Chains A and B, each alone.
Chain A
Amino acid sequence: MQLDFATVFSNLKTYIDHFNDRQEKLTDRINSNSRATIELIVRLYLKQLSKVKENGITEDNLPGFLTFNTSLARCKGCSKRTIINHKERLHRAGLIIKEVRNGKQGILVWINPKILFNHATYQDSQTYHKEKYGHISSVISSIVKNFHPLVHEQHEQLNTNSNVHKSPHYLKMAKTFENFTKGKKNNKWENLNEASSKKESQKENDLGFYKKMVWEFWTYAQKILYPDLYFSGPEHLEVLNLIWKSVYGNFKEPIGREQWVAYHRSSLCRLNMVRQWLEKDNNRWIPAPHFFFDVANKKNGFKNTWEWYVRRETLRLTLRNHQLLKKVKKDFAGENNKKGYQAWSRLQLYRMHESRLKQLNDGSLMHAYYMTVQQIIKARL
């Protein structure tokens, strides 16, 4: 008897489909991996049978499939244990009827002859469904697109996490923010009824204000420094706490809200500086946020950017002062023709510039201004 590859594989498919349909539990079904294993076994078995004389093969006198677990595992690209597990499952399903282990000489596997000899007289899955569920199933199946699952359906079902795929990312972020703003459960200002005194309500307001600042800082940092990374809720919380500690120093400094806002702006500037520093060279990198914002990180942490910021601000102020003093010199020399400064006396010019520069609240600038005026007068005399 001649065995046809196409017939055997269509029989196998029909058998497995029908078997799976009959199983109530998903765990009892033959999954795609086991299906691949039996297909491999059948393919190799048919190859082995093709070497035997045609007349020698009968349904009653079928030779077993001689193989090794290790060779099957190597062929399929999985472990030996996986092959053994698959064989057990296939045996339960009736696809493998017998197995004889011969130690070092390998194993002999007998496959269900119904598959090989076209005796798989089961209904195909579509007819089976029609009979079982009527026309409704066909309507549903036509509407619902059969997406290939990310993982095997069976294992998805095994997972007991019921609300998976139900909470979108922005909701999680909102939840994290809520947790962060609430803080620990034993916060004394959490219970609004007890926080009756003005002091406590003030504290509560301040806490909300600080937490909002920290949240804003982290959102901005995430946007410009880690645009391609995704963070989970616990990681968000951890980084927020680190920022609270390292960047804002637990808000222990006794300064007002306006000063805190000014500091917050400077911190955002520092983030921009880090971004600019990264853009200058592709080989530059910063560590992960839990390390970058860590208080103990002295090597490549965010703390070090304070020096950059101070240096930049100093340079900016120096340049500004230089420009202002240059203008003063021009006015005193009578080079500035605008607004009729030439007609002004030296005292008038002195008073005008003095009042203007005083508005900037810079002691060093004022000192430099007085020195410049002195130099100009000395030079004239």
Chain B
Amino acid sequence: MNVNRAKALSKCIVWFKDGNIRTFYSLDQRNKEANPDQAVGIRRLEKMLFLTFKGKWETAIIYENQSTGCELIKYRNDRRVAAN
């Protein structure tokens, strides 16, 4: 299933150790017919950080995917820290 940037409920900005910065968008549906669930999307982004990019990033922040979306979760050095 492809991630639709416009429909994604949250996005994750990752600051990699090599200096790169990338933005990832969440996939919020459990299946094609299911209603979107933001918590599912957040968990998938977290899984990506801790499994796919394990040890490669320094900071990651998950935001609501809106123009005025607020910060949801912040990760620093493989740990979840209090969001501002």
Contacts and interface: CB of A to CB of B under 8 A. Distances in A.
A220 B73 CA distance: 21
B84 A164 contact: yes
Contacts of B71: 161, 164-165
A8 to B, nearest CB: 23
A126 interface: no
A151 B37 CA distance: 29
A151 B68 contact: no
Interface stretch (A230-238, A270-278, A365-373): A230-238
B70 A164 contact: yes
A160 interface: yes
Contact of B68 (A82, A162, A230, A290): A162
Contacts of A155: 13, 15, 21
Nearest to B19: A33
Given A163-B70, A234-B72, A235-B42, A82 B20 contact: yes
Q: Contact residue range for chain A? A: 20 to 34
A79 B69 contact: no
Contact of B18 (A78, A152, A238): A78
A6 B42 CA distance: 49
B30 interface: no
Contacts of B72: 232-234
Nearest to A236: B39
B63 interface: yes
Interface string A56-95: 0000000000000000000001110010000000000000
Contacts of A172: 70, 83
A169 interface: yes
B29 interface: no
B67 interface: yes
A105 interface: no
A161 B63 contact: yes
Nearest to A77: B18
Contacts of A229: 80
A166 B63 CA distance: 13
Contacts of B82: 169, 230
Interface string B42-70: 11000000000000000100111011111
B17 A77 contact: yes
Given A160-B67, A161-B63, A164-B70, A232 B19 contact: no
Contacts of A152: 15
Contacts of A237: 39
Contacts of B59: 150-151
Interface in A207-232: 229-230, 232
B20 A230 contact: no
A191 interface: no
Contacts of A159: 13, 63
A165 B63 CA distance: 12
B80 A161 contact: no
Contacts of B3: none
A129 B51 CA distance: 47
A233 B71 CA distance: 10
Interface in A144-162: 150-152, 155, 159-162
A31 to B, nearest CB: 9
Interface in B23-48: 37-39, 42-43
A167 interface: yes
List 7 A-B pairs, minimum CB-CB distance, nearest first.
A78-B18, A234-B38, A232-B72, A238-B39, A33-B19, A165-B84, A234-B39
